[in-house]
């Protein structure tokens, strides 16, 4: 490039990050979230046990609120 059309030397161009602060905020919020590992299973007995535990937890929370 022979002409820089009034920009000046490349070292004098100021870089203003417009998106970085928003990305940093989102990453910070993401890091504050607890890590919830997901485990998958396929056998019927384990699936029934997980479903039963969820039902008992829901019932317990409803009983506490009432």
Write out pLDDT tens, residues 16-63. Answer: 777 888 888 888 888 887 877 777 777 888 888 889 999 999 999 999
- Contact (CB, 8 A) for 47 and 41: yes
Per-residue pLDDT, averaged over 7-22, amounts to 70
Query: In terms of residue numbers, what domain contains 49?
Result: 11-65
Can you give the pLDDT at residue 14? 67
Q: What is the pTM of this model?
A: 0.37
Q: What is d(CA 56, CA 47) in angstroms, rounded to the nearest whole number?
A: 14
Please indicate, yes or no, if residue 2 is contained in any of the structural domains: no
Number of domains in the chain: 1
Q: Quick one: pLDDT at residue 59?
A: 94
In this prediction, residue 7 has a pLDDT band, given cuts at 50, 70 and 90, of low
Asked if residue 22 is part of any domain, the answer here is yes
């Amino acid at each position: 490039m022979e002409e820089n059309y009034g920009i000046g030397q490349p070292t004098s161009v100021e870089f203003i990050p417009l998106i970085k602060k928003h990305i940093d905020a989102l990453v910070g919020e993401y890091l504050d979230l607890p890590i919830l590992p997901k485990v998958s299973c396929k056998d019927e007995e384990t699936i029934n046990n997980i479903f039963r535990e969820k039902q008992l937890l829901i019932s317990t929370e409803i009983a506490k609120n009432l």
